[in-house]
Structure 1
């Protein structure tokens, strides 16, 4: 068992930021970052959590595909345990397309927490008797391909 603390030196941190290897080949955690390399982006008064989310929004809007933006689901209700209030677990989808029963969440990097919440979302949908498809495009090319499939399906209706 490794009992060393999860720390890095200033030199290791600088190397990590510059995309290089950490000196001495040390194993370093980048911590519990919610979203890796995500930069909030504002366009037309809308604040997006990432550039990829903004890109998908523009694609859907350009192609006239109706969607609900930032739809929030409660995956687990809040509760009290031994006098302690435990907060609800929620998940906010980037886009829900009601005409296609399709959920889209743009994810540049898949995290363990994100994967767990997607499983919980699938369980919620199953409990509700829904067969909502969930897509997790990670790149602009995957967003383009997904919108292409939606357009093809729309034309075949």
Structure 2
């Protein structure tokens, strides 16, 4: 029997079991964290925790917020600010910093626009979309999309 607790922002019923599959104890705060997806949880366990254990990662932050556009007034109305919330900010032992956003499956157009704004507003920020596949493991999202296109193209050549 399912225990329907609440509906997600996508209008899908969330069971307590599904939520438990996405939770983990945060290494910094020692509190339970529920990730938005299993892919985020996997990244945290595979990359962040492993990097902390090896000493490669010295600091991290979950759900770091970046301002893409401040709020402003137009014709007497306040227009809300546009913020971007990245999945992970990671600081490495060599002093470099990287912002990761995990992406699985299809990416909505607003995410692509926000990525362009991130590149424009924060040009010095090492900002990466990352995904995981069985064949490649953790891979840059753009590289994975190129591989998908190449496989699709090869499939069309073989079919003709």
TM-score (norm 2): 0.58
- How far did residue 145 of structure 1 move? 4.7
Structure 1 residue 102 displacement after superposition? 1.2
Question: The residue matched to 2:34 in structure 1 has which SS?
Answer: strand
Cα offsets for 1:82-108 (capped at 9, x unmatched): 111111000011111233321110011
Change (3 A) 1:145 1:120: closer
Q: Distance in 1 between matches of 2:63 and 2:79?
A: 24
Q: CA deviation at 1:111?
A: 1.2
Structure 1 residues 46 and 143, CA, compared in 2 at 3 Å: closer, same or farther? farther
Higher strand residue share = 2
Q: Which residue, out of 91, 94, 97, partners 1:101?
A: 97
Distance (whole Å) between structure 1 residues aligned to residue 127 and residue 66 of structure 2: 14
Q: Tell me if 1:42 matches 2:36.
A: no
* Uncovered stretches (5+) of structure 2, i.e. residues with no partner: 1-9, 12-17, 26-31, 141-160
1:92 paired residue among 85, 90, 94: 85
TM (normalized to structure 1)?
0.59
Instruction: Tell me the CA shift for residue 67 of structure 1.
Output: 1.8
Counterparts of 1:90 and 1:83, CA distance in 2: 22
**What SS class does the counterpart of residue 130 from structure 2 fall into?**
coil
Report the alpha carbon displacement of residue 53 of structure 1 after superposing the two structures with TM.
0.5
Aligned position for 1:144: 138
The aligned length equals 107
SS at match of 1:55: helix
